[in-house]
Amino acid sequence: MGKCSILYILVLLLTFSSCKTQENRGDNQMNFSKLIFHKSRCNGTCPTISLEIDNERNIYIEREYFKTKSETDPLNSGRFKGKLSESNYTYLLNLLKNCDLDTLEFPESNIMDLSKTTLIIYYNGKQKYLKSVEIPDKAEELVNFLNVIGNNRELERTEEIRQLEY
């Protein structure tokens, strides 16, 4: 076999192996549909937050703040809606990918006086349901980000009432 033939075969091998690498990168794609997040009240003045974000970046939030254990803060409580910025949406998708949703699990816990976090994520034709008071390290940044969104005071107040799944 001549030097040109070997070189030609080597070029073909490199070309096909790079195509395979490109295909593998596509496997990391996420077809995100929506996310539902709930944070329950703790044995104190922790707010309750329920929010939904869909693949068109729409946000719906229902929250209740407390001045004391028994007194609600009506100024910051209520139902709100808005649109997630492109950069925050991209950040959210990256956080979801980094959590490795297919293997992510929340531990069972018997702690009763802390806020319970529930995540329901629809992606790639699947639903992931997670619920616990203890958040694993690989999901901590995601949950913190959702708390920031849930506490966003710049969103528009709405009278719309949605029944977000639990």
Q: DSSP secondary structure string, 116-133?
A: -EEEEEEETTEEEEEEES
Please give the helix or strand (H or E) that residue 4 lies within, else none: helix 3-27
Please give the helix or strand (H or E) that residue 39 lies within, else none: strand 32-39
pLDDT digits (tens, 9 = 90+) for 130-140: 999 999 999 99
Averaged pLDDT for residues 46-60: 97
**Eight-state DSSP code of residue 13:** H
d(CA 100, CA 86): 22
Note the maximum CA span of the chain. 86
As a whole number of Å, the CA-based R_g of the chain is 22
Q: Which residue has the higher pLDDT, 26 or 74?
A: 74
Rounded to whole angstroms, what are the CA distances from 54 to 128, 129, 135?
15, 16, 23
Contact 110, 49 (CB under 8 A): no
pTM: 0.81
pLDDT-based confidence at residue 40 (cuts at 50, 70, 90): very high
d(CA 105, CA 130): 7
What integer pLDDT is reported at residue 23 of this predicted model? 36
Q: Tokens 């707010």 appear where?
A: 47
Q: Give the residue from 139, 129, 135, 55 showing the smallest Cα distance to 95.
A: 139
Please give the helix or strand (H or E) that residue 94 lies within, else none: helix 86-98
pLDDT-based confidence at residue 110 (cuts at 50, 70, 90): confident
What integer pLDDT is reported at residue 12 of this predicted model? 36
Averaged pLDDT for residues 56-65: 98
**Is the predicted pLDDT of residue 126 greater than 60, yes or no?**
yes
pLDDT-based confidence at residue 5 (cuts at 50, 70, 90): very low
pLDDT-based confidence at residue 113 (cuts at 50, 70, 90): confident
- Topology (CATH level 3) of domain 32-157: Mago nashi protein (3.30.1560)
The three-class DSSP label of residue 43 is coil
